[in-house]
Amino acid sequence: MKIILSILSMICFISCNTNQVKKSNWTQEEKELIFKECVNYSLDFNELSLNQSNRYCSCTLRVLVNRFESKQEAEKYLIENSSLNSIYDSCENIN
């Protein structure tokens, strides 16, 4: 009986933990558009190969989606902090 009660308590704790899953307001279309724009930019201006661009842009998209709840929030931050693109530092050496 104690085992069953412990298991049920654990299930309740896990399912009620709202911090465990962060709700994302990013649509698939927004993610695809940002990824595509990033690849085009990195191919044109950073002179990266297609594979390098894909890895870099996957990383930057992951940073944006994890850090900001929505595309609008990310855009606002990036506009206000245009000289501080250090949020992508973890992606710089990905190639």
Residue 65 near residue 32, CB atoms below 8 Å: no
pLDDT of residue 1: 41
CA distances from 49 to 19, 55, 66 (A): 38, 10, 26
Place of tokens 């104690």: 2
Residue range 41-94, pLDDT digits in tens: 989 887 889 999 999 999 999 999 999 999 999 999 988 887 766 888 888 877
The per-residue pLDDT for 86 is: 80
pLDDT of residue 47: 80
**This prediction's pTM:** 0.69
> Helix, strand, or coil here: 94?
coil
Residue-wise pLDDT tens digits, 1-35: 434 333 333 443 444 444 545 567 999 999 999 99
The domain limits of the chain are 25-91
